[in-house]
Amino acid sequence: MPAETRLHHQVLTALADLSIPGHDVRIEQRGGRIDLPAALPGENPTGRRGKALCYTDALVHRDGVPRILVEVVDSSPADPNGIAGLVVNVDRIAATHPGIDLLFVVLAQPKTFYCRTCGRGHRLADPENQACLARQLQANTEEDLAELVHDGLAANYIKALVRYPIAPYLHHMPPPVVLFLDAGRAAETWTAYREQALDLVRGAVHEILAGGPCATVRLLGLRELLAG
């Protein structure tokens, strides 16, 4: 994943304040990797390196046992393989640490949306397009909202994980959950947006813990992201 930015650091450190009943949150701030505990007692640390070294930002765990790996993202590799590569890495980890889920927290700010009524893209910032946007948000389910996003970071993640499905390449874990947060609000009014952002992340974590594995990538927060 790309090098850490100020916005990335700001959001990541805030995750330490997440309160998840029965679980703790560990933030990685020592070089961008998490060394998971040995899956087997007495396992050779050198031999297990490929099974336990994971390049994610945070870990939701219960008494040290990993449950959810969290990656905070505010920029994207030019090649979608960079996104899929992290998912495959976590899938390899899940072979020796079963029961793991992966949560992407993606800070994005789409510039345009696709209007099905007009059959073309509209700029989100233009006031004359707000009526079209309201109709699209009302008419589409959460699952269908992905089709409205066709530019920027949000579109890159939808393309890499949904339009080019990642599920067939996963053998030990379910497809990831992707939560979209508003990058503009996070960058410009973080003090005001912080609690809402944490509530959204907390809701995504609770959905993972309570909902069980899903056969497809789950996209959360698109309605709030598009509505601004």
Backbone torsions φ then ψ of 122, nearest 5 degrees: -125, 150
For residues 105-127, average pLDDT: 90
- Examine residue 16 and state whether it is found in any structural domain, yes or no: yes
In tens, the pLDDT along 26-73 reads 887 665 566 665 554 444 444 444 455 677 889 999 888 889 999 998
**Quick one: pLDDT at residue 228?**
74
Contact yes or no for 172/213 (Cβ under 8 A): no
- Examine residue 212 and state whether it is found in any structural domain, yes or no: yes
Q: What is the pTM of this model?
A: 0.88
- Examine residue 49 and state whether it is found in any structural domain, yes or no: yes
- Examine residue 34 and state whether it is found in any structural domain, yes or no: yes
CA distance 226 to 112: 9
- Dihedral of CA atoms 67, 69, 36, 91 in degrees, nearest 10, equals 90
- Examine residue 200 and state whether it is found in any structural domain, yes or no: yes
For residue 106, what are the domain limits?
Answer: 6-110+149-227
Contact yes or no for 180/221 (Cβ under 8 A): yes
Domains identified in the chain, total number: 1
Q: Spell out where 28-171 has E strands.
A: 34-35, 53-54, 58-62, 65-73, 101-108, 112-115, 120-123
Q: How far is CA 169 from CA 92, 166, 175, in A?
A: 11, 6, 9
In tens, the pLDDT along 39-48 reads 544 444 444 4
∠ CA 207-211-215, nearest 5°, is 110
- Examine residue 123 and state whether it is found in any structural domain, yes or no: no
- Examine residue 184 and state whether it is found in any structural domain, yes or no: yes
- Examine residue 118 and state whether it is found in any structural domain, yes or no: no
